[in-house]
Amino acid sequence: MGKIKKMEEKDLNLLEQLRQENTELNALWVEHIELEKKVSELSERLTLSPPEQVELKRIKKLKLKGRDRIDEILSEHRQEQGLE
């Protein structure tokens, strides 16, 4: 199983700054937090039914897709600002 990629503090600071002006980024972050809560809730259970296991995988994929887009937006911003 792959490692969970944690966001660095500098990325979190940039994310908070850009969320105010970028509605897509804000929506992605809000969704990311909600999906994280769902993953945590399902992961805390001792056993998952087959439909719950499928749902957990679906949520994780959605969360990863959103996180990839968040990283892409942050990277684009850094390139525009000459930070990368």
Mean pLDDT, residues 56-79 taken together: 96
Residue 71 has pLDDT above 90, yes or no: yes
Token pair in block for residue 64: 């990863």
The answer to whether the beta carbons of residues 12 and 33 sit under 8 Å apart is no
Mean pLDDT, residues 7-15 taken together: 86
In a domain, residue 32? The reply is: yes
CA dist., res. 9 & res. 72, Å (int): 17
CA dist., res. 61 & res. 2, Å (int): 13
Confidence of residue 10 (pLDDT cuts 50, 70, 90): confident
Residue range(s) defining the domain that contains residue 68: 10-81
Residue 5 has pLDDT above 70, yes or no: no
In a domain, residue 48? The reply is: yes
User: What digits encode the pLDDT tens for the residues 39-59?
Assistant: 999 999 999 999 999 999 999
Mean pLDDT, residues 11-38 taken together: 95
Q: pTM to 2 decimals?
A: 0.83
In a domain, residue 1? The reply is: no
In a domain, residue 5? The reply is: no
- Torsion sign (Cα): 18, 38, 9, 6: negative
Closest among 14, 4, 70, 69 to 40, alpha carbons compared: 4
Domain count, the chain: 1
In a domain, residue 2? The reply is: no
